[in-house]
Amino acid sequence: MPGRKREYDEDDVRVRPGRSSRPRTRTRPKHDDAIDALVITVDRGRYGCVREDDPDVEVITAMRARELGRKSVVVGDRVALVGDVSGDAGSLARIVRIGERTSVLRRTADDDDTTPEGRLERVVVANADQLVIVSALSDPPPRTGFIDRCLVAAYDAGIEPLLCLTKADLAGPEQVLDYYAELDLPHVLIRPGSDLADLRERLAGRISVLVGHSGVGKSTLVNRLVPDALRAVGAVSAVGKGRHTSTSAVALRLPLVGKARKDPGWIIDTPGIRSFGLAHVSAESLLHGFPDLVEGTLEDQPNCGHTAADAGCTLDAWVAEGKADRRRLESYRRLLSSRAGEPDARDQQADSGPSA
């Protein structure tokens, strides 16, 4: 009847169905068909990878699968790939697993762990076996303060260090080697046109990461070790669409030389860096970066900070007895002060030559 109020019953009620009738699950695909690969370059969310069983094939461009969450992928990581792994132009694979890392080389932006910038920890590379510290003997002069920092980072990461002294035609290595005499630090000397057989032997079968200041001859050394390095780097930089590759690390396969059939190894070239922040390294680990001083602390008080202000620190007596080089103690204490956010006025002067 017109004007009469309508009465509603249960037939008029519409129940909206849920978004999904399937129960939620965290079960992830196993990706049993994934292939193993090594990450050789990282650039803006794209990763250049090569198959470890055949590293000479085309570089595979990949992206991280969503299921990895916040896990970072860095140069040197061993990963599992699915999708288009042909390496053809325009192809894109997915990284679905990251292998357990055998080592992680880190550095912080600054030594001051009281600031956000100082706590910014950067993973340089993963799974490196050896840290090759490249330093010129002249032009620019060797900076033992920088070398000390690299040694601390290497020991903290469980990576073997190798000191590579370039431009040996311009100056002798005696001062630098004398400074590290107590460490039995392995080293190689490099001259223009010199035979690289000794260095190649030390690199064979390993993943070695090269670090050094700009101007020490690191790029020249890389091009001598890998004659087609420019072409190889250009190929992997296509991942970043033309970005200059000196701004990021890149892994390069060393070529076979002569009749040798031994694995020649990999080198990871890193950009020239000005400093190696150690805010991520504990004070105790910092001391173990100076193995020649460790024994001198065994009789110290438990709460001794080993700084110059700690009265009765046995390190002073240890050095006075000639059991360690005083320059090494001074370098260690400068790093302690720098790590605490208290730069030493002598640091700049000390980093200018072998007496650091």
For residues 114 and 130, the answer to whether their CB atoms sit within 8 Å is no
* C-beta neighbour count of 76 within 10 angstroms: 27
- 223-231 own/partner pairs: CB under 8 Å, 24+ apart: 224/196, 225/196, 225/199, 225/200, 225/252, 225/254, 225/267, 226/252, 226/253, 226/254, 226/255, 226/267, 227/255, 228/255, 229/269
**Alpha-carbon span 74 to 79, nearest angstrom:** 10
Q: What is the distance between the alpha carbons of residues 316 and 330, in angstroms, rounded to a whole number? A: 10
Low-confidence residues in the chain, pLDDT < 50: 231-246, 344-353, 355-356
pLDDT value, residue 274? 64
Which residues are paired to 151 by β-bridges?
none
**Residues comprising the binding site?**
166-169, 212-220
> What was the pLDDT predicted at 65?
93
105, 128 contact by CB (below 8 A): yes
Pairing of strands 187-189, 160-166: parallel
Q: Is the dihedral of CA 219, 224, 230, 233 positive or negative?
A: negative
How much is the pLDDT for 22? 58
- 157: number of CA atoms within 13 Å, CB side? 28
Structural contact between residues 300 and 311, judged by C-beta atoms closer than 8 angstroms: no
Binding residues for GTP: 166-169, 212-220
Q: What is the pLDDT of residue 107?
A: 84
Q: What is the pLDDT of residues 94-144, one digit of tens each?
A: 999 999 999 999 888 665 555 555 556 788 899 999 999 999 999 999 999
